[in-house]
Structure 1
Amino acid sequence: MTRVEVSLVVLSLKSLISFLNPHPLPPLTSPMARNSLFALLLFAAVATAAIAAIADDDDILIQQVVPEAEAEAEDHLLNAEHHFASFKSRFGKSYATQEEHDYRFGVFKSNLRRAKLHAKLDPSAVHGVTKFSDLTPSEFRRQYLGLKPLRLPANAKKAPILPTNNLPKNFDWREKGAVTGVKDQGSCGSCWSFSTTGALEGAHFLSTGKLVSLSEQQLVDCDHVCDPEERGSCDSGCNGGLMNNAFEYILQSGGIQREEDYPYTGRDRGSCKFDKSKIAATVSNYSVVSLDEDQIAANLVKNGPLAVGINAAYMQTYMGGVSCPYICGKHLDHGVLLVGYGEAGFAPIRFKEKPYWIIKNSWGESWGDHGYYKICRGRNVCGVDSMVSSVAAINPSNQ
């Protein structure tokens, strides 16, 4: 059983107790009370066995199931120094001065409290210590969130309405070979470029049958496309951009190179080194998908992975599970890739069999669910349905 699964067990136990026993049980002579008590004891035994299986210090750090009682929470933070040492070891963190170390320790403790809050507001996911736990929220936004806070142009081409009556219950482009491995943008706000290449990699696979990793660095260095009707909309390397602007750049420039021919550096201080003789893929057309979630699913199934904007408020502390927060803004600040959807049981138990989207992120495999994020479908959670684009690639053999 993985750390995340154990955390979900604990969350499920808490939810089961509140669900089955919102009020004191009637006397144990009541059949209902005996059945409820038996269910609670059985579930508690399973949870206890699972927790016992992950008792080492590192698992205690990563598990971080935040206690509900404030007194218990304060006791938990008393061990923060030990947790911080484990965090530094696990993620290879070091600081130049003692002053910087002490400052980051304070930030780390604040993020433990944030994880506790996120766990309460987003109980179907697991929140805790991640590789970003020594960053303030503003540092995190500046370094890792790079989607321009703009709306899609009013004249953007709309994707055609597709039939939705025969959509599969579960779908995942990873299983069909259309998704490259998880990449890492580093501390550069270039998420938009990874969302762009991910969508085009999938489209190129559908067009040619070949999966090719495409160059984000070309977009960071060379793409400065703007929406002429909106000020501040230009793609700006590590300072943000928009996926549709990037699709337009690839269309205008004639194509994009392979990752291996134009490798990623995570910096935007270099000059454009685009070599047209090494084009690996190009854009045929791109379009904006309807806000309707069935249409998003239909376009995903037919056209490949989709470029998506999202509000990343809960992603700094996310470790696994399905994120379905009670409260989340619709302000989009992060570009990601929608690769599939599913429907499965997850904690708390009352939310079982709830549908979710499968999101590929660009923060490396050590973040989230091996680099992926699951967020529930059905009500535009965190604005995930608000900015969705589909792209088609040209098959060179047909030119």
Structure 2
Amino acid sequence: MPGDMRPLRALLCLWLVARAALGSRVRTRRELGPGLYQNGVYDAGGSYCQRGDVCCRGRDDGCTVPYHDTLCYCDLFCNRTVSDCCPDFWEYCLGIPAPFPKAQGCARAGLNYPTGATYRENCNLCTCGPGGQWQCEDHACLMDGELIDAVNRGNFGWRATNYSQFWGMTLEDGIRHRLGTFRPSATVMNMNEMHMNMDSNEVLPRHFDAAAKWPGMIHGPLDQGNCAGSWAFSTAAVASDRISIHSMGHMTPALSPQNLLSCDTRNQRGCSGGRLDGAWWYLRRRGVVTDECYPFTSQQSEPGPQPCMMHSRSTGRGKRQATARCPNPRTRSNEIYQSTPPYRLSSSEKEIMKELLENGPVQAILEVHEDFFMYKSGIYRHTPVAEGKGPKYQRHGTHSVKITGWGEEQLPDGQTQKYWTAANSWGTAWGEDGHFRIARGVNECEVETFVVGVWGRVSTEDMPHK
């Protein structure tokens, strides 16, 4: 053929090599053996070459392994003067020392790992640096063994534990994804308080449990997962109990937090947080269906609410019904439940107790600190165990919960410790079967600052008839 064809042949060769690389089979870690991961560390120095005719004696585009973010050939393609591929080629395939020095590695658990190897230390990623030292992130972890031990060694009146569902999360993750109630605005905080009509000599019981007074009408703790939607969960929980109590057990709906998360979009952010006053406005004006009809699907924080699957219309006599089918196809009960406007209670300990005693569970905001995530049992008070560990441990956020009762406990020193009992929304594996106790009468973590009650919208035909 006329002319010099060598440049064209070189380009064709490069194209064939690239095509073969793209079409080659990448071996899985299981096929490659256990050498890639040791003690939780990604080991870039495994046996990449295979002895025999397949790889070491000739070119085979199918003889590849993943190496960091690229493919690595385990044949004579590695016989080059750079060490970016198959770090054991010279020793394993040719049986001679490499003509260039090996990169300095990092030691861990008696083993040496190359530059770029990584492992996780709880919530922090550690990387082997060029200087042979592990370089680790410095986040405050949601589960901190030192803090757990400090709580359990101290005389704080409660016990801490390590929750596997929180392991590997940063404190920032916990505050961002496990809470989700916006602090009430100044206007809402200044709303008129409703005072209970109390006799100065009135004596309230030392212990009270709403579930014991109203059996079958108090719903269990919910689980919001990594959805920052406590605003919706606590509202649905309190409304469910109140409607059950005020209908004298004729209706016992477990209302849907997902209905609020997806459909209450007026200044709300779904699994990225919301306002309590907005949630109650929606329950009053629109109403929600049951959790069976509209089950929870938002397992983690999202940029905004999921599309609303339910809409409502009036059916007369003050009732409303959903105009769409339930997202759960196994149920047809799409009745809408509503409430009256909420009312704020006084921060007086006794007035909150009387409201609980007479009308049922109430909603409260709670400032959550780093140690609350580790709570296992006992009467919680925010402890000083994280002091001195730096500002990264001083983060806190606003949560909302359902208060269901109260009690008191005799301490070893003879003093009496009063407490509230509350249902959290982190599942029944957390705390005391999903509940926690917190010091009462001292506004611990602002639990008595903003307490809300509500009446279920119940008509006479919803009441049981004798």
TM bucket normalised to smaller: 0.5 to 0.7
Contact kept, 8 Å, 2:143 with 2:374, in 1: the verdict is: no
Q: Closer, same or farther in 2 for the Cα pair 1:201/1:155, shift >3 Å?
A: same
1:316 paired to 2:373: yes
Whether 1:203 aligns to 2:242 is yes
Are residue 222 (structure 1) and residue 263 (structure 2) matched?
yes
- C-alpha distance in 2, partners of 1:99/1:372? 38
Q: Does residue 360 in structure 1 map to residue 423 in structure 2?
A: yes
| Letter of the structure 2 residue corresponding to residue 244 of structure 1 | D
Counterparts in 2 of 1:42-121, with a 5 A limit?
99=118, 101-104=120-123, 111-119=144-152
Q: Is the 8 A contact 1:311 1:330 kept in 2?
A: no
Aligned to 1:335: 400
1:249 corresponds, among 282, 304, 329, to 282
1:262 counterpart residue number:
294
Indicate conservation of the 8 Å contact 1:162/1:299, yes or no: no
In structure 2, the residue corresponding to 1:333 is in which secondary structure? Answer: strand
1:168 aligns with 2:205: yes
C-alpha contact 1:158 1:289 (8 A) present in aligned 2: yes
Report if aligned partners of 2:230, 2:399 keep a CA contact under 8 Å in 1.
yes
- Residue identity over aligned pairs, in percent, reads 24
Report the alpha carbon displacement of residue 134 of structure 1 after superposing the two structures with TM: 2.6
Q: Which amino acid counterpart does residue 381 of structure 1 have in structure 2?
A: E
Q: Which amino acid aligns with 1:184?
A: D
**Deviation for aligned residue 1:118:** 4.2
* Cα separation, partners in 2 of 1:170 and 1:224, compared to 1, 3 Å: same
Query: Any idea what the Cα deviations from partners look like across 1:77-105, whole Å, max 9, x if unmatched?
Result: xxxx9xxxxxxxxxxxxxxxx94644547
* 1:109 Cα deviation from its structure 2 partner: 9.8
Flag the 1:360–1:110 CA change in 2: closer, same or farther, 3 A: closer
Change in Cα spacing, 1:381 to 1:132, as seen in structure 2 (3 Å) is same
Deviation at 1:344, TM superposition (A): 2.0
- What's the Cα RMSD here? 2.8
2:63 — aligned with what? none
- Paired position in structure 2 for 1:273: 309
The residue type equivalent to 1:222 in the other structure is: C
Distance 1:149 1:299 in 2: 23
Q: Secondary structure at the match of 2:197?
A: coil
Contact 2:367 2:396 survives alignment (8 Å): yes
Aligned equivalents of 1:239, 1:355: Cα separation in 2:
34
* 2:241 counterpart SS class: helix
Of structures 1 and 2, the larger Rg is shown by 2
Moved more, 261-270 or 304-313: 261-270
Q: Decide whether aligned partners of structure 1 residues 108 and 270 sit closer, same or farther in structure 2, where only a CA change above 3 A counts.
A: closer
- The answer on whether the counterparts of 2:401 and 2:424 sit within 8 Å (CA) in structure 1 is yes
Q: CA deviation at 1:170?
A: 1.0
Q: Residue in 2 aligned with 1:93?
A: none
**328-337 or 360-369: bigger deviation:** 328-337
Change (3 A) 1:214 1:292: same
Give TM-score, length-normalised by structure 2.
0.58
Name the residue aligned to 1:125: 158
Structure 2 unmatched ranges of 5 or more: 1-108, 110-116, 126-139, 313-320, 322-333, 386-393
Q: Is the 8 A contact 1:104 1:135 kept in 2?
A: yes
The answer as to 2:193 corresponding to 1:158 is yes
For 2:183 and 2:147, locate their aligned partners in 1 and report how far apart those are by CA, in whole Å. 24
What's the TM-score once normalised by structure 1's chain length?
0.67
Aligned residue in 2 for 1:236: 269
Distance 1:252 1:359 in 2: 27
Are positions 1:287 and 2:347 aligned together? no
SS in 2 for 1:251: helix
Per-residue CA deviation, residues 222-247 of structure 1 (Å, 9 max, x unaligned), is: 1134xxxxxxxx32111111222211
Higher helix content, 1 or 2: 1
Code of the residue aligned with 2:259 in structure 1: it is Q
Paired letter, 2:204? L
1:236-262: per-residue Cα shift (whole Å, max 9, x none)?
Answer: 111111222211111121x11011111
Counterpart code for 1:124? G
Does the C-alpha gap of structure 1 residues 273 and 180 become closer, same or farther in structure 2, counting only changes over 3 Å? Answer: same
In structure 2, C-alpha distance between the alignment counterparts of 1:392 and 1:330, rounded to whole Å: 35
Give the strand-richer structure, 1 or 2: 2
Residue 218 of structure 1 and its aligned partner are, at CA, apart by 0.7
Q: How does 1:2-17 map to 2 (within 5 A)?
A: none
Cα deviation, residue 108, structure 1: 6.4
SS at 2:172 equivalent: helix
Gaps of 5+ in 1: 1-80, 82-97, 226-233
1:151, distance to aligned residue in structure 2 (A): 3.8
Deviation at residue 333 of structure 1 after TM alignment: 0.7
Which range is displaced more, 278-287 or 315-324? 278-287
Aligned residues: 292
- The residue number in structure 1 matching 2:168 is 134
**How far did 1:297 drift?**
0.9
